[in-house]
Structure 1
Amino acid sequence: MTWTDPATWYANLPAFHAAAGALITNPVGRVLLVKPTYRDHWAFPGGYVEKDEYPHEACTREVREELGLAVDAGDLLVVDWAPAAGQRPRALIHFTFDCGTLDGLEGIDLPGQELENVAFFPLREVEQRLPVNVVPRVDAAIRARTQHVPVYLAGGTVPRR
């Protein structure tokens, strides 16, 4: 085996993107989604993790930037490893955090250039509004919140053991 200097070894490792999203529900279990101006579909509040930022910090920052809400990213609910797809040339690891319950939309301040709408939806409507590859995160997040055990998904499915 040939020794490789660390800089070369690390430079040759595969790279991936990381994102963080927030599960926020209302008291009757409806899920909060946002409608970005730059996509056809709705999404969890959240976004990409920046350089030198932890995923839970990214979640908190994104909810503050997108909704004007000061929340703490609570328990990690879901980790979903999504392979490269479409225009995204790298894999994506998505962290979903429990960001609690809101009674309503009061206090939410949407940045007009990034988001056009925010609403709570029942589960069947959430599944119709999210991209197909994101839908499994909803049930996984709700299950993880209830059972207090994070769920690992591989491309939106629980891996076989």
Structure 2
Amino acid sequence: MRERLYRWFLRAWRHVPRGARRRLVRALSPSFTVGSICVIERPDGAVLLVKHIYRSDWGIPGGLLKRGEEPADAARREVAEEVGLAIELVGEPAVVVEPRLQRVDLVFRARPRLLAELESVRPRSAEIEQVRWFAPGELPRLQPETATALVALARAAAQGRAASSSLLED
């Protein structure tokens, strides 16, 4: 009986105009914030970290997408706003979903577009207190979402290498 009712509902749903379906789904579904964050690496492997004025641990540049903004554009915009650095995104982003916090982060790897700008990196936003490059083995205490982002990027890179090697073996 339950399955018949469900099938009837799905058939009826097909006749509801698309815009109305979208509004109804959005009204009934949990909402999530979506952010773009960047792990920026220098050629020597050092990573750029920022210290937000409202947090005690170190993090990475990034922030929420504006309505209609592409994630890659948001990543570049946030980095420019926070530390004044033009970046080049590398590869596809890793995705981190935090259901409890209702947050989705797209984690991009990036590198500075111009090496001459490396020394001019400084806080450009009221929310950023400090900016510093850290060698991979000398990372300070990180914000939880930054640690999660680094793990997600490492996993994505490992999966990409595994997929590439299995394609080569076929």
- For the criterion TM > 0.5, the same-fold answer is yes
Question: What's 2:103 paired with?
Answer: 92
Report the AA paired with residue 45 of structure 1. Answer: P
Instruction: Give the deviation of 1:41 after TM superposition.
Output: 1.6
Q: Does 1:117 align with 2:130?
A: yes
Comparing 115-124 with 38-47, which one deviates more in the overlay? Answer: 115-124
Instruction: Give the deviation of 1:112 after TM superposition.
Output: 5.2
Unmatched runs of 5 consecutive residues or more in structure 2: 1-8, 162-170
SS for the counterpart of 2:120 is coil
Q: Matched residues in 1 for 2:91 and 2:149: separation?
A: 15
Q: Matched residues in 1 for 2:34 and 2:131: separation?
A: 23
SS for the counterpart of 2:67 is coil
Question: What's 2:82 paired with?
Answer: 66
Of structures 1 and 2, the one with the larger relative CO (CA 8 A, separation 6+) is: 1
Q: Matched residues in 2 for 1:112 and 1:55: separation?
A: 20
1:14/1:141 CA distance change after superposition, 3 Å: same
Higher normalized helix content (fraction of residues) = 2
Larger Rg: 2
Q: Does 1:44 align with 2:52?
A: no
SS for the counterpart of 2:149 is helix
Q: Matched residues in 1 for 2:151 and 2:24: separation?
A: 41
Report the AA paired with residue 120 of structure 1. Answer: W
Q: Matched residues in 2 for 1:59 and 1:27: separation?
A: 20
Q: 1:98-137, CA deviations, whole angstroms, 9 ceiling, x for partnerless residues?
A: 21157574122422522111111233443x4212343132
Q: Matched residues in 1 for 2:110 and 2:93: separation?
A: 10
Question: What's 1:130 paired with?
Answer: 142
Q: CA RMSD in A?
A: 2.6
Aligned residues: percent identity? 31
Query: Structure 2 length normalisation: TM-score?
Result: 0.71
Q: Does 1:149 align with 2:170?
A: no
1:107 is aligned, of 120, 126, 129, to 120
1:139/1:84 CA distance change after superposition, 3 Å: closer
Question: What's 1:9 paired with?
Answer: 25
Give yes or no for contact 1:77–1:140 (8 Å, CA) kept in 2: no
Unmatched runs of 5 consecutive residues or more in structure 1: 86-90, 151-161
1:34 is aligned, of 32, 47, 50, to 50
